[in-house]
Amino acid sequence: MPIEHLILLIVAGVGAGAINSLVGSGTLITFPTMVALGYPPVTATMSNAVGLVAGGVSGTWGYRRELRGQFKRLRWQIPGSLLGALLGAWLLLHLPEKVFTTVVPVLLVLALALVLIGPRIQAWARGRAEAAGRGSDDISRGRMIALILGTFAVGIYGGYFTAAQGILLVGMMGAILPESMQRMNAAKNLLTLVVNVVAALAYTIVAFDRISWPAAGLIAVGSLVGGFLGAHYGRRLSPNVLRAVIVVAGIIGLVRLLMV
């Protein structure tokens, strides 16, 4: 591997790890980078999923404080991500590449819209809960079912393509949960880690020879560092700034994805 490719992959991994812990669209850095370096799209997708697991671990660990008190809900969301990722990984290995990538722009636009209007939806939900005599943090059975199904759907997408699944998760959770941006971001990091681990294991078992292990290793090294950096600086951002970062990164990722 040429030295310039080695450096590009490590730098892309650092950027992806940091952005994943903050936003969740780091694949939109590493995926186009690998494609530009000549890797086939499916190889790039699978190698990314393997390499970015390290960044998911460091990002989740960095946000562990914000995960406290969320297990009652996450114990239902984690199986949704798990099952969705298994189905998505199976689809990647059996369907044409463009089946899902053609709808990525639509999903991204929807997710970004949900990120922007999430506070209004949350305020409306809190008002209804208080009018019904419930606590503002209570989640109705219908909203919990919607949350689990939404997590499952994003898990399918993440197991198939991985790019921008964090933005989709934050947008979906923001429309349903009475949670702060930082706490939702912490939950997002854990759920996307689950998806990436499942996808990486599935790809390794079924398509070991289609993964570029040198590229995956370089991305892993970079994303491990980037995940720590993103978590360290991300928790210092105000909710509005974090929301703005998500929207800007999502728009940039959407443009880059359309250009791949």
Q: Is the pLDDT of residue 97 over 70?
A: no
**Range ranked top by mean pLDDT from 4-8, 21-25, 162-166:** 4-8
Judged on CB neighbours under 10 Å (0-12, 13-18, 19+), 169 is buried
Give the confidence band of 99 by pLDDT, cuts at 50, 70, 90: low
CA dist 54 to 21, 82, 112, 220, Å?
Answer: 11, 18, 26, 5
Distance of CA 177 to the CA centre of its chain: 17
- What is the arithmetic mean of pLDDT over 66-79? 88
- Kindly state the tokens that stand for 122: 């949350």
**Whole-model pTM?**
0.76
Q: What are phi and psi of 23, to 5 degrees?
A: -125, -55
Q: What is the C-alpha to C-alpha distance for residues 72 and 57, in angstroms, rounded to an integer?
A: 21
What letter represents residue 204's amino acid?
T
* Among 178, 41, 157, 30, residue whose Cα is nearest residue 106: 157
Instruction: Residue 209: count other Cβ atoms within 10 Å of its Cβ.
Output: 5
- Kindly state the tokens that stand for 155: 């898990």
Q: What is the C-alpha to C-alpha distance for residues 129 and 140, in angstroms, rounded to an integer?
A: 9
Within 8 A by CB and 6+ apart from 106, the residues are none
- pLDDT averaged over every residue in the chain: 79
